[in-house]
């Protein structure tokens, strides 16, 4: 904890300086760069454009940019070109190495970024990588914040995402002013890296509760209980959780959830396995004991090795359930 | 599953016969026998007496009966004497062997029970033991139901318990008519044993979510997050669960929970370890895979071996957290 405090003080000093630089301009109608136009990045960019921002975009796969280009976004050839043409940049990429490459690679953001730029990463990555990028950005006179999201694809489309933001308190109002153009709840979690810390803790608990709910429902069904009845009991008792009352993993219990649609869409098993891997790494670095988090990680990893990485993570119910002999 | 169906059909036949026997009388103002006057049994008996029932009681510890005796209950010398003087009997005991002894022991209920008596066991025991007692009671012309509760001591005092009832559907209205004198939600779960099945599934998921919430909060705190802020994020995100939003294990996050009172009161670690042991046994019998349930069982068991069996089970947060070197 002493190390965290020391780092926080250091951030405070640099952040104060940056605050003076950036506070001279407003985020409204800023030129926004967006890197990573996947399932999340595309609707987030469209929402920014609807709110009056001009957008400069880049994705390693040119076809990923077709939709936003059709809506008027300018297509750049690399992250450096995005940075040249933007005041605020958002990255939304699969993992830590992609984000580091987008910032610090040969044609990365930091090659051309203008001092005073505001940089947000909404990817789910290692909090320590976010801290490294904060330090590198700081040297260029820019302010970097981790701002991972919850709410998934539907939240991205509706503009109702929750952003968990890691930045000094003084910088938060500026972050909020901009992020509300893509989301509904903008939560300040603490210094840089803390948005990611909150996201990883939530997703670890999500992975655990989904596995636990699946175990409880499978056990109950095998003991002769009706899954809808048992879910109703759990949802009004002490076992109540989001995985049971909002995203039930047993087909037939709820409508409009992946379990009602052959586990298509939703939150992929390979993605939650990735998030649990990041949580495990953070637990090891901080000396935190996570027996259930670690076991859940291995279960979703096993599902991925068995070929179910593309299924929604609630497929763990089917994985635990006895299958037909092969 | 075939075995379950076969057993259900068998119960249906015997239950139909019993229904004819018992349906001739009403449960209102019935003479009620109550065996097991502990933390739960005492307030449950007091509520029955408030609702107009006369009570005949027995506990292996005479001093446990002082309160209900003061309120006008008749004290018996053994379960057989309770059965002689009652039309309806409720048992509320620590474990399977106590319940079997109360029914089938030398001075047990089944020695003297009157044909047509209605027998409820509200203990948390092995569903297979409940099925055995159903069969033994059936031979005496009595109807046995498993009716475990949720809601704890406060629910018992307030008369707001949830009863999870295992009986044939035709018998349920009779059960409900009586059990509402001690509870608010009376839920029919299926045939005999299914009330216990539902209770064990819920408590297994409870044990898992409490361990998972404790892991997530401990990890977050060690990553520099404020536990109240992180709990707020979890409670409005996909990690939401009862263990986080109603019974938070970190001191200072909520009031009026055991974590705010040195983990006194509440649901003892040794008791949830017992329930998880029953869930594990049921999982083994039914061939159900419960990786997180099994690990949680061992964690609460370890806490008990380390001397924390009497603490509320949310003490698992303290158990996972790094302690001072010894």
Nearest CA in chain B to A215: B290
The radius of gyration of chain A's CA atoms, rounded to the nearest angstrom, is 21
For tokens 């920014």, the residue is: A48
What is the extent of the structural domain holding A214?
A: 197-320
**Token output for B33:** 């026998």
Shared domain for A168 and A272, answered yes or no, is no
B143-146/A118-121 β-pairing? unpaired
Q: Does A220 touch chain B (CB under 8 A)?
A: yes
The domain spanning residue B172 has which CATH number?
3.40.50.720
Shared domain for A187 and A223, answered yes or no, is no
Q: From the candidates A199, A274, A285, A326, which is the catalytic residue?
A: A199
Q: Does A130 touch chain B (CB under 8 A)?
A: no
Residue B248: predicted pLDDT = 98
- In sequence order, what are the beta bridge partners of A33? A56, A89
SS3 A161: strand
Shared domain for B216 and B71, answered yes or no, is no
Residue A49: predicted pLDDT = 97
Using the predicted structure, report yes or no on whether residue A22 has a pLDDT greater than 80.
no
Beta-carbon separation of B189 and A225 below 8 A = yes
Q: Measured between CA atoms, how close is A68 to chain B, in angstroms? A: 29
Residue B4 banded pLDDT, cuts 50, 70, 90: very low
Residue A326: predicted pLDDT = 63
Q: Among residues B163, B191, B219, which one ends one of the domains?
A: B191
What number is the average pLDDT over the span A199-224?
98
What number is the average pLDDT over the span B195-205?
98
Residue B17: predicted pLDDT = 42
Burial of B95 (0-12, 13-18, 19+ CB in 10 A): middle
Q: Are B145 and B125 a contacting pair, CB within 8 Å? A: no
Share the mean pLDDT of chain A: 91
* Residues of chain A found within 8 Å of residue B191, distances taken between Cβ atoms: 224
Shared domain for A255 and A160, answered yes or no, is no
Shared domain for A174 and A215, answered yes or no, is no
Taking the C-alpha atoms of residue B84 and residue A110, their distance in angstroms, rounded to an integer, is: 87
Q: Does A286 touch chain B (CB under 8 A)?
A: yes
Q: State the complex-level ipTM.
A: 0.89
B88-91/B31-35 β-pairing? parallel
B149-150/B161-166 β-pairing? antiparallel
What number is the average pLDDT over the span A178-189?
96
Flag whether A259 is in a domain. Answer: yes
Report the interhelical angle of B269-286 vs B291-303 (nearest 10°).
150
Q: Where are the alpha helices (DSSP H) in A118-264?
A: 127-139, 152-158, 169-179, 194-222, 227-235, 242-245
* Residues of chain B found within 8 Å of residue A236, distances taken between Cβ atoms: 162, 185
Residue B322: predicted pLDDT = 73
Beta-carbon separation of B293 and A215 below 8 A = yes
Residue A322: predicted pLDDT = 72
In chain B, residues 60-119 whose CB comes closer than 8 Å to chain A? none
Say how many domains are in chain B. 2
* pLDDT tens sequence across B99-121: 999 999 999 999 999 999 999 99
What number is the average pLDDT over the span B184-198?
97
Distance of CA A56 to the CA centre of its chain: 21
**pLDDT top residue among A234 and A23:** A234
* pLDDT tens sequence across A79-127: 999 999 999 999 999 999 999 999 999 999 999 999 999 999 999 999 9
Using the predicted structure, report yes or no on whether residue B27 has a pLDDT greater than 80.
no
Shared domain for B224 and B257, answered yes or no, is yes
Shared domain for A232 and A303, answered yes or no, is yes
* pLDDT tens sequence across A32-44: 999 999 999 999 9
What number is the average pLDDT over the span A126-155?
96
Nearest CA in chain A to B193: A223
Flag whether A325 is in a domain. Answer: no
Using the predicted structure, report yes or no on whether residue A233 has a pLDDT greater than 70.
yes
Taking the C-alpha atoms of residue A46 and residue A79, their distance in angstroms, rounded to an integer, is: 19
Residue B199 banded pLDDT, cuts 50, 70, 90: very high
* Residues of chain B found within 8 Å of residue A299, distances taken between Cβ atoms: 291
Q: What is the count of residue pairs from A and B with beta carbons less than 8 Å apart?
A: 253
DSSP 8-class letter at A52: T
* Residues of chain A found within 8 Å of residue B226, distances taken between Cβ atoms: 190
Residue A29: predicted pLDDT = 74
Residue A30: predicted pLDDT = 84
Could you tell me what percentage of chain A is helix, strand and coil, using 3-state DSSP and rounding each to the nearest 5? 55, 15, 30
In chain A, residues 135-174 whose CB comes closer than 8 Å to chain B? 150, 162, 164
Closest CA to B108 of B134, B143, B81: B81
**Token output for A132:** 């490294």
Shared domain for B97 and B143, answered yes or no, is yes
Residue A153: predicted pLDDT = 87
**Token output for B132:** 């055995």
Residue B141: predicted pLDDT = 97
Residue A2: predicted pLDDT = 36
Using the predicted structure, report yes or no on whether residue B19 has a pLDDT greater than 70.
no
Q: Does B213 touch chain A (CB under 8 A)?
A: yes
Q: Does B302 touch chain A (CB under 8 A)?
A: no
Shared domain for A173 and A210, answered yes or no, is no
**Token output for B287:** 């061939």
The region, left, alpha or beta by phi > 0 then psi within -120 to 50, assigned to residue B116 is: left
Q: Measured between CA atoms, how close is A53 to chain B, in angstroms? A: 29
Going from the C-alpha of B188 to that of each of A2, A100, B116, B166, B222, the distances in angstroms are 55, 56, 21, 6, 44
The domain spanning residue A261 has which CATH number?
1.10.1040.10
Q: Among residues A156, A172, A191, which one ends one of the domains?
A: A191
Q: Among residues A137, A170, A191, which one ends one of the domains?
A: A191
* Residues of chain B found within 8 Å of residue A209, distances taken between Cβ atoms: 208-209, 212, 239, 241
Residue count (chain B): 326
Residue B154 banded pLDDT, cuts 50, 70, 90: confident
Shared domain for B180 and B236, answered yes or no, is no
Using the predicted structure, report yes or no on whether residue B152 has a pLDDT greater than 70.
yes
Beta-carbon separation of B241 and A203 below 8 A = no
Q: Does A198 touch chain B (CB under 8 A)?
A: yes
Catalytic residues of B: 199
Using the predicted structure, report yes or no on whether residue A52 has a pLDDT greater than 50.
yes
* Residues of chain A found within 8 Å of residue B238, distances taken between Cβ atoms: 150, 202-203, 206, 242-243, 247
What's the first-to-final CA gap in chain B, in angstroms?
51
Shared domain for A28 and A162, answered yes or no, is yes
Residue B89: predicted pLDDT = 98
B225 → closest Cβ in A197, A216, A242: A197
Share the mean pLDDT of chain B: 91
Residue A154 banded pLDDT, cuts 50, 70, 90: confident
Q: What is the pTM of this model?
A: 0.89
């Amino acid at each position: 904890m002493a190390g965290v405090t020391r780092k926080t003080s250091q951030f405070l000093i640099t952040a104060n300086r940056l605050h003076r630089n950036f506070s001279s301009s407003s985020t409204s109608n800023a030129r926004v760069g967006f890197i990573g136009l996947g399932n999340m990045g595309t609707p987030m960019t469209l929402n920014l454009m609807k709110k009056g921002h001009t957008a400069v975009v880049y994705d390693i796969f040119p076809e990923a940019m077709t939709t936003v280009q059709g809506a008027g976004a300018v297509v750049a050839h690399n992250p450096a070109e995005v940075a040249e043409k933007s005041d605020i940049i958002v990255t939304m990429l699969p993992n830590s190495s992609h984000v580091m490459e987008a910032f610090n690679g040969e044609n990365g953001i930091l090659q051309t970024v203008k001092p005073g730029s505001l940089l947000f990463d909404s990817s789910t990555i290692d909090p320590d990588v976010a801290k490294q990028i904060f330090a590198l950005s700081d040297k260029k006179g820019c302010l970097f914040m981790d701002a991972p999201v919850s709410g998934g694809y539907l939240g991205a489309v509706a503009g109702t995402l929750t952003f968990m933001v890691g930045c000094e308190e003084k910088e938060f109002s500026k972050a909020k002013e901009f992020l509300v153009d893509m989301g509904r709840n903008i939560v300040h979690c603490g210094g840089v890296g803390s948005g990611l810390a909150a996201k990883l803790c939530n997703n670890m608990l999500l992975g655990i509760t989904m596995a636990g709910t699946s175990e409880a429902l499978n056990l109950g069904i095998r003991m002769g209980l009706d899954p809808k009845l048992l879910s109703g009991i759990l949802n009004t008792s002490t076992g109540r959780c989001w995985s049971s009352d909002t995203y039930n993993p047993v087909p037939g219990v709820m409508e409009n959830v992946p379990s009602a649609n052959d586990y298509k869409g939703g939150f992929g098993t390979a993605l939650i396995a990735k998030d649990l891997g990041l949580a495990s790494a953070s637990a090891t670095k901080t000396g935190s004991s996570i027996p259930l988090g670690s076991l859940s990680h291995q279960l979703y990893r096993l599902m991925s090795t068995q070929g179910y990485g593309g299924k929604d993570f609630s497929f763990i119910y089917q994985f635990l359930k006895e299958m037909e002999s092969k």
